[in-house]
Amino acid sequence: MTVQGTDARRAAVLGSPIAHSLSPVLHRAAYEELGLTGWTYDRFDVDEDALPGFFDGLGPEWAGLSLTMPLKRAVIPLLDEVSETARSVEAVNTVVFTDAGRRLGDNTDIPGMVAALRERGIEQVDSAAILGAGATASSALAALARICTGEVVAYVRSAARAAEMRQWGERLDIEVRTADWSDAAEALRAPLVIATTPAGTTDELAAAVPERPATLFDVLYEPWPTTLAARWSAYGGAVVSGLDLLVHQAVLQVEQMTGRAPAPLDAMRKAGEHALDAR
């Protein structure tokens, strides 16, 4: 799923809201490092209703798009082909336009999570816990389906969310048990904890971090560190951040859109860190 060439090409990230997105920083850093002087990467505030019209207005200079909420599912009917990875969670975050004009959809969040964990030495775990049950939680489950050999416990706030997570487990062929959010402190003793909740949600759990925590993957990157991540680090646990995820999934996007591999991981991470520091 690649597009070759170094002539003037365009790419962008779409979503609503989108002003906060770090994707332009990461992709532009990659283009500079790769010598793709004719490539540009922008951001556009596009909601579900406006998405078909945006696609209709794209010319042959477009190489690809990154998609964030609320477009990851809405884009699927507009595509010619969707990867098995994206189909597994019904979410596309990457669109590549081929020279023949085909629209190819993929999900780099899932392999991005796996790559971010592998970078920290996490190749396989025998069990894991997920905090939350939203769209990111389903991607986390899909990532765990690749590296977790045993049970995943998802801590959720409602019976409906619990049912959804069990259904995702069945679909992804991974054993999922659900527990009430009131027991979420128990999650922190798992070999791998993936926090997928909005900012501030896990602050209440920081006091329950065990003396020897294992690995926390907190998908947030702003504000950073979260209260939970800060306590986790203070107790000597390994922490994988939302920026790690963002960079690794963007690396895969750059490789697909440009046809150039490997993408410059270090340069992209440094650009992201600098942008967050500047904020």
**What positions carry a catalytic annotation?**
72
Kindly state the greatest CA–CA separation across the chain.
Answer: 56
- To the nearest 10°, the Cα dihedral for 238, 135, 17, 70? 150
Q: Which residues contact 198 (CB under 8 A, 6 or more apart)?
A: 220
Going by their DSSP bridges, the two strands 128-131 and 152-156 should be labelled as parallel
Strand, helix or coil for residue 215? strand
Going by their DSSP bridges, the two strands 39-45 and 192-195 should be labelled as unpaired
Terminal Cα-to-Cα distance of the chain (whole angstroms): 34
